[in-house]
Structure 1
């Protein structure tokens, strides 16, 4: 009997470890590389565009802070703050329900949602920079080719 009890406890411990879905909190704190130039409005628009694209609901917009929330399957709810300047943004956890937040750990879906949001914002800013560069090159080429 003690060996059966011991085996059950070992199986239970293994199942608990395997089913664990909490990960360390992820807080993107992104300083833009020198190759990306954005003004305050471009930064705000890049953040808002990605929030909307990823189904986040924008709660509040102020000059250096955007607050947003997402509810998935009426079971998981997360609220975040995004602090931003023209050269920097930081995504901060504010609150959640159903995400098992405790001791600096949270459900792995939160990590995925924030990581995708971070990558999307950075990609949008890079795309904007590439578009501006292409327009400048095109304008320069037209000016050179135009007869006096």
Structure 2
């Protein structure tokens, strides 16, 4: 009897651990804060740069949509769509394999990958804005748009 009880507890533990790996699907829907100013091309480049840095494969690039996929350890596969404008983007689930997608829930690693993409895109936009500001200042333009010679 104790071995039956022990086996039951092990099974329950394994089931509870397996259930914890599925989480509600994360779909970042980001409108840029007013402190970040990007044009359409800068947004596209920030998305593409982040995808490449995070080891996603870009499948298709359109004027308002980027499609990408990732395969981890040759087994776990996810596909996403990223519709974008100059001041907005969204990371949308398209398809997956071996990530247990069902009823709006998916393996927690997918959500982590998508959150890292979201943070990376924002970081790229901030870095691009800082680089533009530095170039302007090197060319004699202050952040307020007033040339240093005029001051």
The alignment's TM-score, normalised by the length of structure 1, stands at: 0.88
Partners of 1:4 and 1:54 in 2: how far apart?
Answer: 47
Shift of 1:137: 3.2
Instruction: Determine the structure 2 residue equivalent to 1:11.
Output: 10
Unaligned runs of 5+ in 1: none
Q: For residues 33-74 of structure 1, what are the alpha-carbon distances to aligned partners after superposition, in whole Å with 9 as ceiling and x for unaligned?
A: 001111111100110111111111111111111111111111
Shift of 1:120: 0.5
Unaligned runs of 5+ in 2: none
Partners of 2:84 and 2:7 in 1: how far apart?
Answer: 51
Partners of 1:144 and 1:116 in 2: how far apart?
Answer: 39
Instruction: Determine the structure 1 residue equivalent to 2:132.
Output: 132
- Cα RMSD, aligned residues only: 1.9
Stretch moving more, 28-37 or 127-136: 127-136
Instruction: Determine the structure 1 residue equivalent to 2:54.
Output: 54
Partners of 1:129 and 1:15 in 2: how far apart?
Answer: 48
Shift of 1:127: 0.8
Aligned pairs for 1:1-148 (under 5 A) are 1=1, 5-20=4-19, 21-138=21-138, 139-140=140-141, 143-145=147-149
Give the 3-state SS of the residue equivalent to 2:141 in structure 1.
Answer: helix
Shift of 1:145: 4.8
Shift of 1:8: 3.3
Give the 3-state SS of the residue equivalent to 2:101 in structure 1.
Answer: coil
Give the 3-state SS of the residue equivalent to 2:34 in structure 1.
Answer: coil
Give the 3-state SS of the residue equivalent to 1:11 in structure 2.
Answer: helix
Name segments (4+ residues, structure 1) moved above 6 Å: none
